[in-house]
Amino acid sequence: MIIVDTSALAKIMIEEKESPALRGELQTLSDHGEQFSISTLAVTELRRLAIRLGISAERIDPVLRPFRTLRLTEAVLQLAGRLSHKQLGTLDAIHIATGLITEAQSIITYDAEQAKAALSDGINVLQPGN
């Protein structure tokens, strides 16, 4: 399983320089049987981003639909609170903890601090187009 964080979901919703490579990589990995998951946190973050940017709600569901949504659990929150990375923000820690709890082999993120922390915790980082 591969965790997809909000920085990657945003590149699906909003066209950025990495967007074509990201969509291509998601398709290739999906064609090879990879499964993708997002946290309920990512759903909330993407909806808030859309509101801040004035993007209509109708554009959000097609972005989220292909992904399995994982509920936030007490175990995820407890682990996120214990991650030792000093520069890692709370929400990024929750994405990493979700990956660790679900034993995801990779995370797709374009957040530098989150990527660094994920790698040090043994989660492979994918950043198509970066």
CATH of the domain at 113: 3.40.50.1010
Neighbours of 43 (CB within 10 A): 17
Segments forming the whole domain that contains residue 27: 2-126
Q: Identify the residue whose tokens are 């399983």.
A: 1
Mean pLDDT estimate for the chain: 95
> Does the structure show a pLDDT above 90 at 41?
yes
**Total domains present in the chain:** 1
Task: Please indicate, yes or no, whether the overall pTM of this predicted structure exceeds 0.85.
Answer: yes
| Spatial distance between the Cα atoms of 78 and 97, rounded to a whole number of angstroms | 9
Residue 38 CB contacts under 8 Å (≥ 6 apart), including other chains? 3, 4, 5, 9, 64, 67, 68, 69, 70
> How large is the average pLDDT for residues 33-40?
96
> Does the structure show a pLDDT above 90 at 130?
no
The per-residue pLDDT for range 57-68, each reduced to its tens digit, is 889 999 999 999
> Does the structure show a pLDDT above 90 at 117?
yes
Coil, strand or helix at 112: helix
